[in-house]
Structure 1
């Protein structure tokens, strides 16, 4: 597996290009904006884009999804269906966060807890992790021991829960039950900021320990 991180938008969101090394098949996870930048990166590495994967429906994670899907004629896949209202609210999100206007769109396929997604020879397990948003999911690849978590957890922090339908206790339950139960050395690739590991966050994340929040 190869992963290329493409920071996008003023929110420095970590768009991830995930690549199966054997097939050169790729998926773009959470393209929040700057579609041209992502297209250039795919062309530079001569990748065959298979789909767009989304962890949740916040604009800084989905803003370029429709443009990329139409450009490459691929489907948008995920998140979980409880996220529908955030896609319907994309025009409001754009106004709220100072993005260019965007029309609502919907994924072609929703994902549920326990589903699997295959990219070439890579296999991702889908884990539903509500709290930051109700339909948030994460993508766990056991063979390479990494999990792409969107805005569930960050190095030393956790996702916000003050947006509509956010729930702080639900978020902590998701982290403890779906992230911290993974093997200690599992890499956590967050939607913002640096990567971290499960063991590091279990030991030192103050929001999880109860020191904050």
Structure 2
């Protein structure tokens, strides 16, 4: 493997590793710190807006954490060609904020939320759209499959097994708004980033 290719692989992995590191750090933080980070609708409406971002990094139990960290790794395997550390972290922040905003404005019944799952739905849709841009049929499968999963959840699909595993109700609205965010961000890149190809791959 050439040094340039090795550097690209290391650079593409750095963002996901930082994301996993933040999730692990949040999981092992003292309870008083975790309380400051959780997505709490009432506190956000009182002005604690950072919770729109930080709530995504918390998890209900170790199973929840490991499942989501494994999903981060799988998405890196699928779409590492699109990742560079700085751009990936910017993407994570955008997806987290848009997902949090979706919950705040359109899902008032969600009073609290923790976990990377909403953000992960955004990442997979974002990656699928990039696959489509490259002419890969797998991109259509990823986007349509994610849309089907989200619709199934929204229309009453059984999530009890997942809920038992993570020790909390499955936040299906976070999945919905995460997927919507994943579809929106490429459009934002087009408008403000100077074109589709100006993606996280360049940073």
TM-score by length of structure 1 reads 0.27
Q: Going by fraction, where is helix more abundant, 1 or 2?
A: 2
Q: TM-score, normalised by structure 2?
A: 0.28
Which structure has more relative contact order (CA 8 Å, sep 6+)? It is 2
More strand by share: 1
